[in-house]
Chains A and B, each alone.
Chain A
Amino acid sequence: MGIIIDKNTRVLVQGITGKEGNRATKEMLDYGTKVSCGVTPGKGGMKVHSLKVFDSVKEAKKYDSLINTSVLYVPPLMVYDAALEAILNGIKTVVIITENVPVKDTTKLVEYAKRYNARIIGPASVGVLSVGVGKLGSIGGAEEKRMYSKGNVGIISKSGGMCAETALILTQENLGQSTIIGIGGDVIIGTTFTDILELFEEDKETEVVVLYGETGGLYEEQVADMIKKKEFTKPVIAFISGKFMETIDKSLSFGHAGAIIEHGIGKADDKKKILKEAGVLVADYHDQMPELVKKALKWNSRQE
């Protein structure tokens, strides 16, 4: 039935009157997502694609108490306030599409989400798409079918654009997908690879998971840990990009602690090695992934 988004998902769009919010709302509706209404402070009473617009999340919830998900298309410096408003009004899934959110703001939101048992996806998420079920955000644009097809592969990606490319090369090899999630590539993100893997572990439609990771941080290393502890038991295929970033020295003089604690670990090659040791199939080139998925699926059926 899809993770993050299912038949019970009812969506609020914060920033619905902006250009991006407006376009995404139409695309979500066209894909069959239940978008209930929108919020833009100061524009209450307007309508966007026949949906009501409210001044506040509180008013939106009063209009439709079943709203459980919010998708944010607000300017970067307003994300903190908008996401907080959603969380404190009882919304449990908050997808932040906005890029360039200050890391301080994200960090505070992550704390709030923990306290109020809410899930933040992003910032800088391209969205979430469950093939044939619905989508949250801009993922797939108006032509989802060009790359996304129904199947058993789950995709988690730090890059929004590479959600599409990854699904595309899988679809070309007749490997359909279950749910695709853009988690965003910021230093601090609301939902990490391992958070999503927990959901995929329980998801009957997902047999194998493909990760698109990037150099930096430790989110990929956490995946290796999780697999080693057998908290995730389905096959995982990974591609880690950004190796070249490490080969250039623009003498950017990272502070020492940053250099050692952040950049000394978290290198693409280290990530690959750690993931391989945990049994993940790691692609050197991005377009090797379909082959590895097939290998993993065969391996899976042999086990049964």
Chain B
Amino acid sequence: MKLLEYKGKELLKKSGIKIPPSIITNNKSYINLSYHKEKYKEFFFDHKNVIIKAQIISGSRKKNNFIVGSSNYKESLNLIDKLYKTEYNNQLINTLLIEKKLDMKEEYFLSIIYDTLSRSPLIIFSRKGGIDVNKVLKKKRYASKSIRGTLNDYEARNLAKAAGFEKSEMLKIAALIKKAYNCFEKYDCKSLEINPIIKTPEGILYAGDAKITIDDNAIIRQDILRDETDIEDKTLLNERELEARKIDYHDHRGVAGKTYFDLEGDIAILASGGGASLTCMDAVIEAGGKPANYTEYSGNPSREKVKQLTKITLSKPNLKGCLVIGGTANFTDIFETLSGFIEGLKSINPKPTYPIIIRRAGPNDKKAFDMIRAFAKKEGFDITLFGEETPMAKASRIMVEKVKWE
């Protein structure tokens, strides 16, 4: 789960890292309650120069005017109103983080990620933070350190020194690195990035931004994060994608819908299994086809869940084909899941006339295929059935060919 900046900064603050003085406003409360306007007014005249930051998950907020600044009260009010009327990903901006604009003497960069080569956390620190950090990283102008077990103080100092800091500055940077690593470890981060770390003329270090991703598998043991899932969903997902996620919220047997997202193409895909779904998506694209979505269901989901997922997947307009695909299941009941597919298919209006290909094998597959053959004949659907004699990649290519000839 990717945290919005203000949520990430909360974690940094709890870990002892300074963040700029700030207030957080929420769209509705800002508009409806004069109290919030009063609070902002007070904040503005305390600091006289502010940065207003839209709280969205996006890589280039500054470039796209989601981060604006002002030292004029009236102008800042207009900027706030304008941001609250701006849409991102088809949704109005919901939250603004308003911070004091700090005097900046230098900007640094810090990142902690999991490195697959050393199979351990890796800390990267550079003296040259800010907007052009991409170049800094590509040219490897940074110091880095793999962490085995824990980060000892002397290792943090060595890293600060390797990044070009000396004397008391080295100690300050080392302390910051240690705090950031503690935050990474304590809150089960998958990645943590602070860019820039702002050094003021007084020599104080602040986190200017926070990009933190929490390990989804660990959220359940992170009390302070458990209620945050909503925030990510709202800023990243469209309506269909949100609907699909609800399938799993309400029924925990197997997985269906958690991974659904829309793509630009016209071939609807219902795949089973992580590796199988990737293999088939690649095969469709390699053969010149365009998937309309990505989704994957597995772990023997109930008939109802597959039905819901089918309804959502086939609700996309202008589809030209549908591929239901998976390997030889170990224990997923093929009759149950394909019955769910057929029930979902029945509910689609207008009735799909495009070709449907099903490639599936496993428990109860014969019973499932007999049922579908009878259904297709009776209701007049164009359904082709393949079992394990036809490789998945081949079934994917046949789908693309069929769509091309439509």
Question: A residues near B, CB below 8 A?
Answer: 23, 76-77, 100-104, 107-108, 110-111, 138, 140-142, 146-147, 157-162, 164-165, 168-169, 172, 185, 187-189, 212, 214-219, 222, 239, 241-245, 247-248, 250-258, 260-262, 266, 268, 284-288
Contacts and interface: CB of A to CB of B under 8 A. Distances in A.
Nearest to B283: A285
Given A138-B330, A187-B114, A250-B236, 11 more contacts: A77-B220, A107-B114, A141-B331, A164-B328, A165-B391, A215-B278, A252-B236, A256-B111, A257-B191, A261-B113, A261-B122
Contacts of A217: 116
Contacts of B327: 161-162, 164-165, 168
Contacts of B221: 77, 102
B166 interface: no
A222 B211 CA distance: 29
Nearest to B189: A104
Contact of A165 (B113, B149, B218, B276): B276
Interface stretch (B132-140, B152-160, B372-380): B132-140
A252 B190 CA distance: 14
Q: Tell me the dominant secondary structure on chain B's binding face.
A: mixed
B: interface residue count bin = 35 or more
A255 B193 contact: yes
B217 interface: yes
B165 interface: no
Interface string B69-110: 000000000000000000000000000000000000000010
Contacts of B274: 159, 161, 185
A113 to B, nearest CB: 10
Contacts of A189: 119
Contact of B148 (A104, A111, A214, A242): A111
Interface of B: 2, 57-59, 109, 111, 113-117, 119-122, 124, 133-134, 137-138, 148-149, 185, 188, 190-193, 195, 211, 213, 215-218, 220-221, 236, 261, 263, 272-276, 278-279, 281-283, 285-286, 291, 294, 298, 326-331, 388-389, 391-394, 397
B238 to A, nearest CB: 10
Given A102-B218, A261-B113, A253 B59 contact: yes
Contacts of A146: 328, 388
A173 B389 CA distance: 11
Considering residues B120, B272, B275, B328, which has the most beta carbons from chain A within 10 angstroms of its beta carbon? B275
Contacts of B138: 260
Contacts of B281: 244
Nearest to A107: B120
A260 B133 CA distance: 11
B137 to A, nearest CB: 5
A253 B275 contact: no
Contacts of B117: 218, 222
B285 A247 contact: yes
A291 to B, nearest CB: 11
Contacts of A107: 114, 119-121
B331 A244 contact: no
B58 A251 contact: yes
Contacts of B273: 159-162
Contacts of B294: 244, 248
Given A255-B111, A257-B191, A261-B137, A102 B278 contact: no
Contacts of B57: 251-253
Contacts of B109: 256
A253 B193 CA distance: 12
A165 B137 contact: no
